[in-house]
Amino acid sequence: MPEITAQLVEEHNLTAEEYERILRILGREPSIAELGIFSVMWSEHCSYKSSRPHLKRFPTSGAAVVQGPGENAGIVDIGHGWVCAFKIESHNHPSFVEPLQGAATGVGGILRDIFTMGARPIAVMDSLRFGPVTERADFPGINAALNRRILRGVVSGIAFYGNCFGVPTVGGEVVFEPCYQNNPLVNVFALGIARKNEIFYARASGPDNPVIYVGAKTGKDGIHGASLLASAEFSGADGQQKRPNVQVGDPFLEKLLLEACLEAMHTGAILGIQDMGAAGLTCSTCEMGDRGGVGIEIELNRVPQRETGMTPYEIMLSESQERMLLVAQRGREQEVMEVFRKWGLDAVEIGAVIEAPVLRVKQHGAVVAEIPNRALTEEAPVYDRPRALPRRLAPLEPPLSWGPRTGAELAEDLRKLLGTPTLASKRWIFEQYDSMVRTNTVIGPGGDAALLRIKETGQGLAMSLDGNGRHCFLDPRRGARLAVAESARNVSVTGAQPLAATNCLNFGNPEKPMVMWQFREVVEGIAEACEALSIPITGGNVSFYNETEGQAIYPTPVLGVVGLLESVERHCTAPFQNEGRSILLLGNARTPGHEFRITFGSSQYAQTVLGALWGLPPEIDLDLEQRVQACCRRLIAEALVESAHDISDGGLAVALAECCMGKSVGAAVDLPSGSDPLALLFSEDPSRILVSVPGNLLADAKRIAGEYNVTAETIGTTGGKSLRVTKGGKTLFDIPLSSLRLPYEAGLELAVEKAGVGCEVSGART
């Protein structure tokens, strides 16, 4: 056994104080296996030691909540004897080191989180962030070729795993910002359904009950993935040095594992089950034991291994994929094993539940590790890290001036926005995904939210992902409120009632007071918005240390909201459906004068057209937001609107263009005389939704809006093959839909496949 030195402790990302704590817990020096176990379980990724005190601020209970934080996935009741399980996880650092396998195993891991609860996964979404894929004159250090390589690898990994497993990838978001160049974000959101009386939990019970290992064999891939990849900053050389820490996935084997697990669960012989994700066998054993108030003893010689000579350290810390640990009733273990053998999978009794609340690991009958469960789980170190308000890195006032824009300039600005990769169509990406497998998809990629049909009940489940790191960089609390509101609004415009949310909180190094201040502010903002909108948080993930050589990403919370539609047929989509319909703007909240100059600096227009970042994100009135969303859902439920689309990135102009391009139905919009067209067209004020209404239903729609005290302004009509915008009756621009569609459809693909310098600059140049 190697000597435990100060250098070895440091290499395991443990502080001297933490090592002293280990000595007190054990009353002796740890073995190398025990040191590794403490290292992974006390890592930021597994213990949440910097974030746990703050996460208690989230509202976690609600009428529909069946299971909140603390399990593999959150669960909400959707009625008719069914529940929905959902969760979001990050696989950021692995996706930088090895983009394809990093993203693929991120998908595999979140799918196991769902079916370990007894739910069959029915959909996946992903929130992706990369550095710019075209050269940026304002950021001379951009490595667009690297960013394109990472993008291609991540997209291929998601497609590979999801398509082979047989789960539809139904949407998400893709953002390009310089801060993500060496720290791409890969957040994966999965959803599944189960019978309410068939939920399973990750809890061991009943001394002497067998502990059974099922699934793939254990290898040396992914060792220290949680503690070295996800719980430390990167250096420039890490891309090659840390490749062995990235797991390797097999989606076909995971499909077999899914079917075998669900079938075995139906035998009634399984008492508890947990996947071997981060920290592998270590995490599943000690957490299952701790949740059940018991211990687990295992014999490593029985663990299926695909390599010879593996040490206890390697076996316990391996993060090989497609593996589960379960506890069965003694005397019925053969029923369980027969199911897994039928599916061609290993199923081996490797230990048993014990009364003593410890994790006991043996090899050849000799104890190589014995640690109290709670020392690894609930009693892991927790830090109230220092927080400090950071120095503003972006000016509050505009660093440049701009004058009135002509109609031709406004038209060119719109085409430019539609062609920038962040706003352009993501068809190049989502066409690589199977979005229709299992035939539940009603609204797939490209919609505000995805909508899944529940064949068993006729209901619909909506799911949406949203976040804006730029907003949170300028003001974390405001930005977090906006992210919650927009993700919920995306669900509401389908007609679904938001039920609950999960979140993935992506930040830099928590040991830096500035980062912890950002983190606390984001948590407070999310909590405030969730409380105001009655959306509980059922779980999520914190991803710290998203830094390379001291350069952190923007604080980037990503919110996944799930909503329920009682009749899936009564839903709405974004595109204008027919000509001759009135276009209503619900919740028109124009930002006045000077405040507009401040908040406009956070917009996509400021970044793309003006090439600058300043100010603050818009403030949100959460009461107005709640009323606007409720009003929209009511209009959809009463079949008074034919389309609904929220206004977000790019403002009203981009939203109108998207509504027009969907089914090639144009629009004529008139802006009030005396108004600033730039502000009306491109500001990104929240709490606004575009709907189209048949003329004979207009009075009813406005009446209902009045009941919610929501402004419903008629701004134009649908029709024709162009987007025409006038001001006081005078034409500002009249753009054929084909001229809008060209940059929108080609912007991202040209940037990635043609390495097109300038593709972000103007749709006219593509």
Q: Mind telling me the catalytic residues?
A: 45, 91
Task: State the Cα–Cα distance between residues 519 and 513, nearest whole angstrom.
Answer: 10
Under a CB-based contact definition with an 8 Å cutoff, are residues 518 and 146 in contact? no
Task: Name the residue among 199, 187, 192, 194 with its Cα closest to residue 167.
Answer: 192
Write the DSSP string, 332-381: -HHHHHHHHHHTT-EEEEEEEEESSSEEEEEETTEEEEEEEHHHHTTTS-
- Could you tell me how far CA 565 lies from the centroid of its own chain? 22
Under a CB-based contact definition with an 8 Å cutoff, are residues 298 and 366 in contact? no
Strand bridging mode 582-586 / 537-543:
unpaired
> Token pair for residue 11?
């290499």
Under a CB-based contact definition with an 8 Å cutoff, are residues 260 and 113 in contact? no
Under a CB-based contact definition with an 8 Å cutoff, are residues 125 and 168 in contact? no
Task: State the Cα–Cα distance between residues 127 and 739, nearest whole angstrom.
Answer: 29
User: Under 8 Å CB-to-CB from 664, ≥6 apart: which residues?
Assistant: 721, 737
Maximum pairwise Cα distance, the chain: 87
Task: State the Cα–Cα distance between residues 43 and 232, nearest whole angstrom.
Answer: 9
Question: Nearest 5°: CA angle at 336, between 276 and 80?
Answer: 80
How far is CA 288 from each of CA 202, 284, 440, 595, rounded to the nearest angstrom?
5, 6, 33, 53
> Token pair for residue 192?
């599944």
Beta strands in 185-313 (DSSP E): 185-195, 210-215, 270-275, 295-299
**Exposure of 135 in the CB half-sphere (CA atoms within 13 A):** 7
Task: State the Cα–Cα distance between residues 285 and 272, nearest whole angstrom.
Answer: 11
Under a CB-based contact definition with an 8 Å cutoff, are residues 527 and 58 in contact? yes
Task: State the Cα–Cα distance between residues 449 and 451, nearest whole angstrom.
Answer: 6
Task: State the Cα–Cα distance between residues 750 and 536, nearest whole angstrom.
Answer: 41
Under a CB-based contact definition with an 8 Å cutoff, are residues 666 and 720 in contact? yes
Write the DSSP string, 130-164: ES-SS-BTTBTT--HHHHHHHHHHHHHHHHHHHHH
- Could you tell me how far CA 359 lies from the centroid of its own chain? 32
Q: Tokens 């793309």 identify what position?
A: 608
> Token pair for residue 647?
């206004």
User: What are residue 299's DSSP bridge partners?
Assistant: 362
Specify the DSSP element, H or E, that contains 733. strand 730-736
